Amino acid sequence: MSKLPLLINWFKEHKGTVTAFSGGVDSSLVLYVSKLALGEQAIGLISNSESLKSKDFEIAVKFCQKHDITLKVIKTDELNDPNYTANPANRCFFCKTHLYEAMIDIIKAEYPEYTILNGTNLDDLGDYRPGLEAAKNHDIRSPLAELGINKKDVIAMASELHLETAAKPPSPCLSSRIPYGTAVNSIRLNQIEQAEYILNQFGFNNVRVRHLGEEASIEVPVSDIQSLKNQFDLISKDIQDLGFSKVLIDQEGFVSGKLNRVLHG
């Protein structure tokens, strides 16, 4: 049974909403349904910072244009925050704090009485996500999680609504490719983005390039590893041209959140 009516009904108690939008399927669903329920009182907001892939920013902008949703674009300043750039295990807390504080300033000035939302779903609550603490500190609402809607439900509803983001692979921020304790800066973020773009050009869509100092470690699904090996000479040369001395293939394959393993001993 679809949970879509439940989600639409959630918005009825709100005068208007501003959704922290990333272009991913979770926040796309929240933003789209907010527009169904509230019309012009549904706003999206995205931070076009260095840690967001330019490709994901373009997807987000096109999504809002297609569905006639107002999108506010800001640029948060986390790369000037030493708490963030030191890349501690709770890096996401500082990033989301910058985002939510900027959103609150905008809401107070332009959309008083609107509620700030994010795309956190029920499954996210069981993962290590320091950004959730920042959301709690700033009274950000999470309609998906509040209604017990998990990732499987999200994809089902997005498909039901024919949203173009329904099949979009997860794309966390570029900083998540840098091991904790290694400084985050614009040079490293750009290297990661360009390396993943190279892999996209060779036909690999679900990829991660982990920035291991002088080395770039490529993760693709296990089913794609042989294809990657077949094209590796060309790919590794292009990636080395970005400033890496060595390019590796992670034989384990693509695993979301792999760098979080150090946190669990």
DSSP string, 7-75: HHHHGGG-S-EEEE--SSHHHHHHHHHHHHHHGGGEEEEEE--TTS-HHHHHHHHHHHHHTT-EEEEE-
Which of 64, 92, 95, 173 is catalytic? The answer is 173
Q: pLDDT tens-digit profile of 17-66?
A: 999 999 999 999 999 999 999 999 999 999 999 999 999 999 999 999 99
For the residues 245-261, what does the mean pLDDT come to?
85
Third-level CATH fold of 174-264: Alpha-Beta Plaits (3.30.70)
pLDDT of res. 262: 65
pLDDT of res. 113: 94
Is 173 tagged catalytic? yes
pLDDT of res. 133: 92
pLDDT over 90 (residue 256): no
In angstroms, the CA 118 to CA 125 distance is 13
CA 178 remoteness from chain centre: 15
Q: Considering only residues 63 and 254, tell me which one the structure prediction assigns the higher pLDDT.
A: 63
* pTM (2 d.p.): 0.92
Q: Locate 77 and state its tokens.
A: 């300043």
Which CATH number does 4-160 carry? Answer: 3.40.50.620
In the chain, where the domains are located: 4-160, 174-264
pLDDT of res. 127: 73
- The candidate with the shortest Cα–Cα distance to 101, out of 116, 85, 86, 81, is 116
In angstroms, the CA 218 to CA 197 distance is 12
Q: In the chain, pLDDT over 70 holds for what percent of residues? A: 97
For the residues 220-240, what does the mean pLDDT come to?
97
Q: In the chain, pLDDT over 90 holds for what percent of residues? A: 90
pLDDT of res. 261: 65
pLDDT over 80 (residue 158): yes
Q: Which regions of the chain does DSSP assign to beta strands (E)? A: 17-20, 42-47, 70-74, 115-117, 208-212, 215-219, 246-249
Domains 4-160 and 174-264 share a fold: no
Q: pLDDT tens-digit profile of 166-177?
A: 998 888 999 999
Mean pLDDT of the chain: 94
SS3 for 252? coil
Q: pLDDT tens-digit profile of 77-131?
A: 999 999 999 999 999 999 999 999 999 999 999 999 999 999 999 999 987 788 9
pLDDT of res. 180: 95
pLDDT over 80 (residue 242): yes
